[in-house]
Amino acid sequence: MDTHRDAHVAAVLSVTGAVLAAGEFPATAAGCRDLLKWAMKLGTVRRAGVEGTGSFGASLSRSLLAQGIGVLT
């Protein structure tokens, strides 16, 4: 995920690395929940690559970790 102040951009990849979908979500608590719900519709989410875990992606990272999803930086 590419994190920014106002929005996060995410891509869901298959186990072989193919892009299944991409989307943009508000960088808010509700946006983080919507992003995860969207990704989970495409399959089991076990881990996520998050850019900016120490800044714009910090709250998104905490949200994913709270759901048991591994965060790769």
> 70-72 and 47-49: which strand pairing?
parallel
Tell me the whole-structure pTM to 2 decimals.
0.88
C-alpha span between 31 and 34 (Å, rounded): 5
Q: What is the pLDDT of residue 64?
A: 95
At 33-47, the pLDDT tens digits run: 999 999 999 999 999
Chain mean pLDDT for the chain? 95
**Under a CB-based contact definition with an 8 Å cutoff, are residues 57 and 51 in contact?**
yes
